[in-house]
């Protein structure tokens, strides 16, 4: 009997579904649009309030203000550098390890994979790690951004499960043509693992771009090595409670003296835009990668 019309209960169900999803979308998106609108609005006008998702008095002055500080440009440079170098090195190291672990005939395979898997469960903790970095004389260097996070077991295992899906016959025929294992990795495996590499590249790049804590911990006193996120963190923390122990470097002080709100929002947008541009394009890769990783582990 219900073959033709939809029962009323299902119609209500549909309405509930769409209303709930729209609500989630609004709650997720509104803060970003609000921040964007404030960053593009005249700062003295913003103080009056009432800005929602579009600017009332459009201006780019807030952005001019922040770019006038050399500290920000230097921070941008370091952030870009660590993102590029960290991503490239991270991709090479995890794909190489993944390749060797995917080779069933490799006799070091069992040892290496156990050795690696254990790191997902045990860690020394913050303070022993800090002492290690100190003992290695990596405090106050650029290397501290790239080296400690070079190999992540999780990334290696995601790439490996992808390589496992590539027929081994391909490697064998390359071998018959006289290719050595490194050539096989470089010429056969790498081109075929592009989707997995794209996923991991996104994770690595986002991780590098977003991290601030290593700057805070190891390089806070090195003005020429601080990152964008760290600068943003200082601005936000210094204006948030007004009463905190951040003895501001010139950038923070000056920013607090001009209208902090709009400038804070402008910095937030600058820090967020690169990610906003990249991730939708890589979405289909990382959804697949996430699922694969979850199912296998």
Partner 1 sequence: MKAVTAEVAKIDRPAKKKASRFFSTMLQQRYLYLMSIPFVIWVFVFSYLPLWGWTMAFQKFKPAKSFFEQDWVGFDYFKELFHDDTFFQALRNTLAMSVMGLIAGFTIPIILAILLNEVRQQMFKRVVQTISYLPHFVSWVVAAGIISKMLSTDNGVVNEVLVGLHLIHEPIQFMAKGNLFWSIVTASDVWKETGWNTIIYLAAIAGIGPELYEAARVDGASRLQQVWHITLPGIRSTIIILIIISIGHLISIGFEKQFLLGNNLVRDYSQTLDLYALNYGLGMGRYSFGTAINIFNSVVSVILLFTANGIFKKITKESII
When the beta carbons of 67 and 186 are compared against partner 1, the nearer one is 186
Q: Is 242 exposed, middle or buried (0-12, 13-18, 19+ CB in 10 A)?
A: exposed
When the beta carbons of 116 and 225 are compared against partner 1, the nearer one is 116
In whole angstroms, what is the distance from residue 63 CA to residue 39 CA? Answer: 8
- Taking the complex as a whole, the smallest distance from the CB of residue 257 to partner 1 amounts, in Å, to 18
Q: What is the H or E stretch that residue 140 is in?
A: none
- Taking the complex as a whole, the smallest distance from the CB of residue 175 to partner 1 amounts, in Å, to 11
In whole angstroms, what is the distance from residue 183 CA to residue 165 CA? Answer: 19
Helices within the chain (DSSP H only) = 8-39, 43-46, 61-67, 70-102, 109-118, 126-135, 143-146, 153-163, 169-176, 181-183, 190-192, 194-210, 213-218, 228-240, 250-257, 260-296
- Taking the complex as a whole, the smallest distance from the CB of residue 68 to partner 1 amounts, in Å, to 21
- Taking the complex as a whole, the smallest distance from the CB of residue 227 to partner 1 amounts, in Å, to 10
When the beta carbons of 81 and 112 are compared against partner 1, the nearer one is 112
- Taking the complex as a whole, the smallest distance from the CB of residue 27 to partner 1 amounts, in Å, to 7
When the beta carbons of 225 and 233 are compared against partner 1, the nearer one is 233
When the beta carbons of 7 and 140 are compared against partner 1, the nearer one is 7
């Amino acid at each position: 009997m219900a073959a033709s019309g939809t029962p009323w209960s299902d119609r209500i169900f549909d309405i509930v579904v769409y209303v709930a999803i729209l609500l989630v979308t609004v709650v997720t998106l509104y803060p970003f649009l609000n921040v964007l609108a404030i960053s593009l609005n005249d700062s003295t006008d913003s103080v009056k309030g009432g800005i929602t998702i579009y600017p009332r008095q459009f201006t780019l002055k807030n952005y001019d203000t922040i770019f006038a500080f050399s500290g920000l440009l230097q921070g941008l440079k370091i952030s870009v550098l660590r993102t590029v170098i960290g991503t490239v090195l991270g991709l090479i190291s995890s794909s190489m390890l993944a390749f060797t672990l995917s080779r069933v005939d490799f006799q070091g395979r069992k040892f290496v994979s156990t050795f690696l898997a254990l790191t997902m469960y045990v860690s020394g903790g913050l303070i022993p790690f800090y002492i290690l970095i100190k003992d290695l004389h990596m405090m106050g260097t650029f290397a501290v951004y790239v080296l400690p996070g070079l190999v992540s077991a999780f990334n290696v295992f995601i790439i490996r499960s992808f390589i496992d899906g590539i027929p081994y016959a391909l490697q064998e025929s390359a071998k018959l043509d006289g290719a050595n294992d490194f050539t096989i990795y470089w010429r056969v495996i790498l081109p075929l693992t592009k989707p997995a590499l794209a996923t991991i590249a996104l994770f690595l790049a986002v991780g590098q771009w977003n991290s601030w804590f290593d700057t805070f911990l190891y390089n806070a006193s090195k003005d020429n090595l601080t990152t964008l996120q760290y600068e943003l963190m200082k601005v936000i923390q210094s204006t948030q409670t007004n009463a905190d122990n951040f003895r501001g470097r010139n950038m923070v002080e000056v920013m607090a003296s001009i209208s902090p709100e709009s400038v804070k929002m402008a910095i937030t947008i600058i820090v967020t835009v690169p990610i906003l541009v990249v991730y939708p394009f890589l979405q289909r890769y990382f959804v697949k990668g996430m699922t694969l990783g979850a199912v296998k582990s």
